[in-house]
Amino acid sequence: MLKPVFYSVCVFFFCVFSSLNAQQNLVPNGGFEEYYHCPSTAQGYLIDACKYWTMPTQGTSDYFNACSTEFDSFLNLYFASVPENRYGNQAAKEGNAYAGFIFGGQIQEDSSMSYYSEYIQVQLNQVLLAGKKYQLTFYAHNAKTVCPNRLGVLFSQNQLNYSIDSILPIAPDYETDQSLYFCDTNKWYKVEYSFLANGTENFLTIGFFSGIGQFNIINYDNNPIYGADKQKFGIYFLVDDVALIEQEDNQTNVFTPNGDGINDSFSLNYDNISKLTVLNRWGEVVYTSENHFLWDGNSQGEKCSDGVYFYKVELKSEITKRGFLTLVR
């Protein structure tokens, strides 16, 4: 009689362990609280003073921590502390520390834009599992009065080490919506990215991977600065509370497009989709899209019949997810 009880206990603890493991943050020191030394001009104030974090380029990303007590008499403020430091006075999202990096640009004589871009990089606690769903979250704060968009995220198999201080020559896995401008200098913006892993993600890099397509250049009085032609700009960003969590992929594969406002469409909750294709049981394509990843159960304006359909999702990471879905009106 002991075996069934023992088995139940084992199952219980396995479930609890699996649940806790799924919620584990795969970004080491995501709050930037652990450090090799307090940031200072004597020991160094770059991000590599913080445990596990590095710089993927020759850009000099910074580290700020409340443990730093160095006072700059010329600036009349604490140099690399939190909340006060040489870039302003900003409390951490949580804890006592955060990272910071610059992104800037200037028009050259040949009318081209030259960029200076810094990044922060960290090796994950483990390589991500192919086909598993993950969600990355972190908080970003604009410490300057220039309003940028398109803050980006890159996952790579190997550690990046480029001898440049400009924009990385790699397309990011994710960029924030171009309509989102980080204009509120009193706010921590939450950035979220849900995706299916391709199984090679080992390092995470955060920064700006694209030139600013559109941006506002204003001062605290809401007046233009640097001139109306926007020939020069500089942005300073803070990042805190970086977390990467494996999630249960609770994709609903049954939908009822009957117009009642409940489960009326089949949609996919991943941010790294490049194409969705739906086929009927005879292999005929009834829906395909490279920019609208939601199917309402119609094909060329006609209602599709009840039944089982096959869907194929092509991801930006060049892997494909396949599955079945059921349409019930």
The C-alpha angle with vertex 103 and arms to 99 and 106, in degrees rounded to 5, equals: 160
CA 278 to chain centre: 29
d(CA 281, CA 166): 51
**pLDDT over 90, % of the chain:** 58
Query: End-to-end alpha-carbon separation of the chain, Å?
Result: 49
pLDDT band at 10 (very low <50, low <70, confident <90, very high): very low
Least confident of 151-165, 176-190, 195-209: 176-190
Strands (E), 41-197: 53-54, 62-65, 71-72, 77-78, 84-85, 88-89, 97-107, 113-117, 119-123, 133-142, 146-147, 151-156, 174-175, 188-196
- How many Å apart are CA 64 and CA 238, to the nearest integer? 9
Phi first, then psi, for residue 22 (nearest 5°) are -65, -25
Of residues 84 and 107, the one with the higher pLDDT is 84
For the domain covering 23-247, report its CATH number: 2.60.120.260
Domain ranges of the chain: 23-247, 254-327
Note the CATH number of domain 254-327: 2.60.40
Cβ atoms within 10 A of the Cβ of 255, count? 20
Q: 165 Cβ partners below 8 Å, 6+ apart?
A: 57, 58, 59, 116, 117, 118
Note whether 23-247 and 254-327 share their fold: no
Kindly report the backbone phi and psi dihedral angles of residue 244, in degrees, each rounded to the nearest multiple of 5, phi listed first.
Answer: -130, 115
Residue 305 DSSP one-character state:
P
Across 169-173, 239-243, 314-318, the highest mean pLDDT is recorded for 239-243
Taking only the tens place, the pLDDT of each residue in 30-54 is 999 999 999 999 999 999 999 999 9
Contact call for residues 39 and 68 (beta carbons, < 8 A): yes
Please indicate whether residue 203 or residue 291 has the higher confidence score (pLDDT). 203
Residue range 113-122: mean pLDDT, rounded: 94
- What tens digit of pLDDT does each residue of 92-106 get? 999 999 999 999 888
| Mean pLDDT calculated for residue range 160-176 | 95
Model pLDDT, residue 295: 92
Q: Which residues pair with 205 in a beta bridge?
A: 121, 154
Angle, vertex CA 196, rays to CA 192 and CA 200, nearest 5: 105
